[in-house]
Chains A and B, each alone.
Chain A
Amino acid sequence: MGGVKQQSLLPLSVVANAHFDSQAITPELLPSNDRGREIPGRHSRNHLWISLYFKYLPIESISTSRSKPEAVLVEQKHQARILVCNQVAERLGIRPGLSVKAALAMVPELAIAHRDIRLETQILRRLAAWATRFTPAVSIDSSNTLLLDVRASLKFFGGLPKLWKLLSSDLDRWGYRVTVACAPTALASIWLARTGEHDDRSVPQYSRRRLAALPIASLGWPENIERMLREMGVDTLGECIRLPRDGLARRIGPEKLRELDQGFGIQPESREFYRPPRRFHAQLELPAETSNCQLLLESLGRLLGSLKIFLLANQRAVQVLWVHLHHYDKPSTLLRIGLLQPVMDTDYLLDLAHIRFTDSHFSAPVVSMALQTDPVTIHTVSGQDLFDCSTEHGAGIVELLEQLQVRLGSQAVYGIRPVAEYRPELAWKAVQLCDEDARIASGKMPVRSAYDRAGYRPLWILAEPRVLPMLAGRPAFQGKLNLEDDPERIETGWWDGRDIRRDYYRAWNHHGLRLWVFRDCRESRWYLHGLFG
């Protein structure tokens, strides 16, 4: 039953093969009838899970008052009981599990609130995002516990004590009361943290005796199972794991037994890891409605600051930004800032926004602003060749194109390429310059292709051929046109319905303009198609 090597960035649950050191499970702790069974995963790596149990999160997420007693209630069997209370209330004698009526009788000025699970989840996700600083394997457990598998990070941080120092100083800054424990399996660390009595600021230690001595209540199982085990005379986890397995499975159910096994490392456990969100979204209310570009840019700068933290924390790069400007009565304006390559540098994004905002007028004063990005990509640093100088200038052209596109529009900046086609208006195309092959390809175009062997071509061409009025029997453009004697007939294009039959002439007028005109043979009208020089 070999384990799967844990990989850090898989999306969903990963089979993490956890097992103790060979000293951890002594023969006494193994079930007596399975003494010979091999501990699975002896070849896989160990894990070290630190669990942070935010016991007081329900009350701390709502308010952090230090003077007034407050508590959060939970409904249990149609009776409202206290879930957690803050320190002031604790000093006054309130305990979790007390009924609300009794609590109010004890402390009349107690403020009671309902639990806000969404807020707690939000805070936990923010904490998980912070925790990815120490390890990519962060998991959020449903019981307000944050789990970090730091085994792989120990070498980088220089050992558990140093890692713990960084972790605890950050935790102090967050200000939440937290109980910490560590163990080789995630479930064991959850159980240990749940029974921790006070904030432990020293380096958490794991000891198998402590695990074995945990009461059954730390498993968090339903009351009837707890009562049954208590009546059987089983009080601690160590005794529980030594019971005959098939009998235990019949009494408590196979899932509970598997949970117990996973906690002791007999069976592998799986965890769903925290994934950072793929898009960034932030909103900011402006202090007063304004259409001043400078103030709008300042607010945008603050939003970009939080985007920068998000990108840095997750090592992602952003390519498309959407700025929503909300007005009071009108529908909101949407501005798009698109880049040719994903970037992490938010100062550059602010410069691009500056280009976009200046000289542009908004229809109404802006009330609030929101920033959103398209799914962010993993930031890759391209390898730089020592002798490759093209990257230096390549960066300049990309920035120039991005700046031009931001201000002029993404369709307004392009390159041109010839197309192998007889019809003159289709013999060229516009290409977007962010195309890789457009940038690299050069020298691959034929100087002369078979398609323009026939005649000269003008340097300028009109987007649409323009009808020319007739003046004394000759076409006129700013004066009468004089035509050359040998026209070029182009008759082609029957295969896609845009067939043409035209006689192209070179012409000039008395202003000195040299033009390329044609006469459409079917309509017998004269058109101007291009200019020479």
Chain B
Amino acid sequence: MSKRHRLHQLLQEPRIWKAGQGAGPHQTVSTGFPDLDRALSGGWPTGVLTELLVDLCGIGELQLLLPALKAFHGRPIGSKVNPPLGAKKWIIWVAPPYMPYAPALVRAGVDISRLIVAHCDRQNDVLWAMEQALRSGACAAALAWSEGSDPRALRRLQLAVEKGLCWGVLLRPARFKKQRSPAALRIHLLAVSLSEISMDIFKNYKSRPQKIVVGIDGKLQSPARPFGEWAGKQKSRFDADF
């Protein structure tokens, strides 16, 4: 009896994080991929920070995010407390590795009249800009490509996302996988083939960690060949030397 009591007391500790008990009634944005929706219990979460760890930029991570970005076409995001009537919110991309190509984005269905692109010279500007965007309440989604690892800045990002109740995605090199991060959802992306990406969801605030493979539209007519034999040769290098 006392053991159960002690266990119960231990579980009430705020320092213990329990997976499976959601942080709150957060809205989710459907990812557009049914497998991923099921794995994430609904879709991309709003109000918590999502972290995507990729080795190389361009293996298809933007394709993963596209269906959700399309969903922001004129759609307000907010809690039930004060939904803005018809107020269209903005999407901001902070420090993208290359220039977003407007014709392709238009063709994909993204509303680029509400898109802001911000380039940063310094790394701490990247996290700062994302924090400002999330906190301002004018953005429905913020994507940032960062190589920084300042834990305080990450913690502030998490608080900003909670305050702004928007969709925040931070893309970082895969070498930060081992580092602790306050993001509630952390996924490591690897290219399995030209049209498939393996997602290792190793921290999930809603359910247990899992690994899935998602098929994205490669838009290339070549046969989908798995790179099993090449997977070991992948260097964990984030778009570095060109």
18 chain-A/chain-B pairs, Cβ below 8 angstroms: A389-B86, A390-B86, A404-B132, A408-B118, A408-B120, A412-B121, A414-B117, A415-B112, A417-B112, A418-B112, A445-B112, A447-B109, A457-B107, A459-B62, A460-B96, A460-B97, A513-B56, A532-B219
CA distance A506 to B218 in the complex (A): 11
Closest to B193 in A: A512
Q: Is A530 an interface residue (CB 8 A)?
A: yes
User: Which of the 9-residue segments B12-20, B123-131, B147-155 touches chain A?
Assistant: B123-131
Given A445-B113, A514-B218; A531-B58 close (CB under 8 Å): yes
Q: Contact between B139 and A412 (Cβ–Cβ < 8 Å)? A: no
CA distance A443 to B122 in the complex (A): 34
Q: Contact between B98 and A514 (Cβ–Cβ < 8 Å)? A: no
Please count how many residues in chain B sit with their CB below 8 Å of the partner chain's CB atoms. Answer: 69
Q: Is B99 an interface residue (CB 8 A)?
A: yes
Instruction: Name, among B62, B103, B191, B233, the residue most crowded by chain A CB atoms within 10 Å (CB to CB).
Output: B103
* Partner pick for A415 among B57, B88, B113, CB 8 A cutoff: B113
Q: Contact between A484 and B222 (Cβ–Cβ < 8 Å)? A: yes
Q: Is A438 an interface residue (CB 8 A)?
A: yes
Interface flags, B37-63, vs A, CB<8A=1, else 0: 000000000000000000111111111
CA distance A397 to B117 in the complex (A): 13
Given A532-B58, A533-B58; A428-B117 close (CB under 8 Å): no
6 additional A-B residue pairs with CB within 8 Å, beyond A416-B99, A428-B103: A407-B128, A413-B119, A428-B101, A457-B101, A459-B62, A482-B222
Q: Contact between A412 and B119 (Cβ–Cβ < 8 Å)? A: yes
CA distance A478 to B57 in the complex (A): 12
Give the residues in chain B near A515, CB-CB below 8 Å: 58
Q: Contact between B220 and A393 (Cβ–Cβ < 8 Å)? A: no
Give the residues in chain B near A442, CB-CB below 8 Å: 74, 88, 111, 113-114
* Partner pick for B105 among A390, A459, A513, CB 8 A cutoff: A459
Q: Is B116 an interface residue (CB 8 A)?
A: yes
Q: Contact between A511 and B56 (Cβ–Cβ < 8 Å)? A: yes
User: Which of the 9-residue segments A213-221, A305-313, A461-469 touches chain B?
Assistant: A461-469
Give the residues in chain A near B221, CB-CB below 8 Å: 484-485
Q: Contact between A452 and B103 (Cβ–Cβ < 8 Å)? A: yes
Q: Is A359 an interface residue (CB 8 A)?
A: yes
CA distance A26 to B106 in the complex (A): 82
CA distance A485 to B122 in the complex (A): 41
Give the residues in chain A near B118, CB-CB below 8 Å: 404, 408, 412-413
Give the residues in chain B near A401, CB-CB below 8 Å: 116
Closest to A460 in B: B98
Could you list which residues of chain A lie within 8 angstroms of chain B, going by C-beta atoms? Answer: 359, 389-390, 392-393, 396-397, 399-401, 403-404, 407-409, 412-419, 427-430, 433, 438, 441-443, 445-449, 451-452, 456-463, 466, 478, 482, 484-485, 506, 508, 510-515, 530-533
CA distance A430 to B117 in the complex (A): 9
CA distance A452 to B105 in the complex (A): 12
Q: Contact between B112 and A393 (Cβ–Cβ < 8 Å)? A: no
Give the residues in chain B near A429, CB-CB below 8 Å: 102
Q: Is B89 an interface residue (CB 8 A)?
A: yes
Q: Contact between A400 and B113 (Cβ–Cβ < 8 Å)? A: no
Given A427-B102, A428-B101, A457-B103; A400-B132 close (CB under 8 Å): yes
Q: Contact between A511 and B230 (Cβ–Cβ < 8 Å)? A: yes
Of all A-B residue pairs in the complex, the 10 with the closest CB atoms, nearest first, are: A512-B191, A396-B138, A442-B113, A428-B102, A531-B58, A457-B104, A460-B98, A533-B60, A397-B138, A461-B101
CA distance A471 to B62 in the complex (A): 29
* Partner pick for B117 among A416, A438, A458, A461, CB 8 A cutoff: A416
CA distance A389 to B137 in the complex (A): 14
Q: Contact between A513 and B58 (Cβ–Cβ < 8 Å)? A: yes
Q: Contact between A415 and B87 (Cβ–Cβ < 8 Å)? A: no
Closest to A448 in B: B107
Query: Which B residues from 153 to 187 make CB contacts under 8 A with A?
Result: none
CA distance A462 to B101 in the complex (A): 9
CA distance A376 to B133 in the complex (A): 29
A400 to chain B, nearest CB (A): 4
CA distance A3 to B104 in the complex (A): 67
Q: Contact between A400 and B139 (Cβ–Cβ < 8 Å)? A: yes
Given A404-B129, A413-B118; A458-B124 close (CB under 8 Å): no
CA distance A482 to B218 in the complex (A): 14
Give the residues in chain B near A416, CB-CB below 8 Å: 99-100, 102, 105, 112, 115, 117
A373 to chain B, nearest CB (A): 25
Q: Contact between A389 and B85 (Cβ–Cβ < 8 Å)? A: yes
